Homo-oligomer: A and B are copies of this chain.
Amino acid sequence: MQIVIIGSGNVAYHMAKAFTLKSIPIAQIFGRNEKELSKISEELHIPYSTDHLEEADLYILCVSDHSVEEVSKIITKKNCLVTHTSGSLPKEVLAGEYRKASFYPLQTFSKSKELEYEKIPFFIEAENEEDQKILFDLASKISEKVMESNHEKRKYIHLTAVFACNFVNHLFSRAKEISDSQDIPFDYFLPLIDETVQKIHEIEPKQAQTGPAVRNDVRILQLHEQLLKDESLEIYKTMNHSIQKMYEL
């Protein structure tokens, strides 16, 4: 099967690298940014082009969400499979007469950061069982965690990630405001944060809950509310209310 990767960013680089490490040949890496393409090409020994798109059986679009539709139009071939790598777009956004699919790796990518590809979950959606199998088998060569998912399911995957990553990061921002206000270096909290996350690798988060809300320590809860204001106070109340509801306190 002839595979072409379209894009020259972080996702394109890591996809190309993950395939190459598993000896799956990539026929071409195609994009606009010649500087980035030539770097990837040199490191991974994959031909690149900025103007002539190679014939392929499978095109993997590794471009930003808002470019997927436009870039998908450059593939004029009909008898081929084209997939995007976005978590938030339906496969129908692809704008050609080829077979369409979604091939979504659940991870944040940066070029400088080494990743364990076998740990990255892949979510697959295709138009028919044959394409589904092609993509499932391909992802399974890279990763131990491959799952079918339609667009509806990907909405919930994205939502889960918003809670577990985006909101978690914002809590770190608000926590840092509090420690900054007292000249306590925020990096003093990193070992405790690391332990908090390590714990949920071993036990369910619901079992791991600690803190004043879950032990219904009214004295501490009231004291903390007096130390807070504005958005941080709102977060404090909302989170404690949610904790106490979850544990029926």
Contact = CB atoms under 8 A, between A and B. Distances in A.
Interface of A: 88, 106-108, 116, 119-121, 145, 147, 149, 153, 155-176, 178-179, 181-182, 184-197, 199-201, 204-206, 208-214, 220, 223-224, 227-228, 230-232, 234-236, 238-239, 241-243, 245-246
Task: Return the 7 tightest CB-CB contacts between A and B, nearest first.
Answer: A166-B211, A172-B205, A163-B175, A164-B175, A231-B242, A121-B188, A238-B238
Given A106-B188, A160-B179, A163-B178, A171 B172 contact: no
Contact of A192 (B156, B165, B178): B165
A200 B192 CA distance: 13
Contacts of A232: 163, 242
Contacts of A163: 171-172, 174-175, 178, 232, 235-236
B157 A184 contact: yes
B235 A169 contact: no
Given A106-B189, A210-B108, A238-B235, A164 B160 contact: no
A67 to B, nearest CB: 15
28 contacts: A106-B189, A106-B192, A121-B188, A121-B189, A147-B184, A156-B178, A156-B227, A157-B179, A159-B178, A160-B176, A160-B186, A164-B172, A165-B196, A167-B235, A168-B171, A168-B172, A168-B196, A169-B205, A169-B209, A169-B210, A173-B205, A175-B205, A176-B204, A193-B200, A230-B245, A231-B242, A231-B245, A234-B241
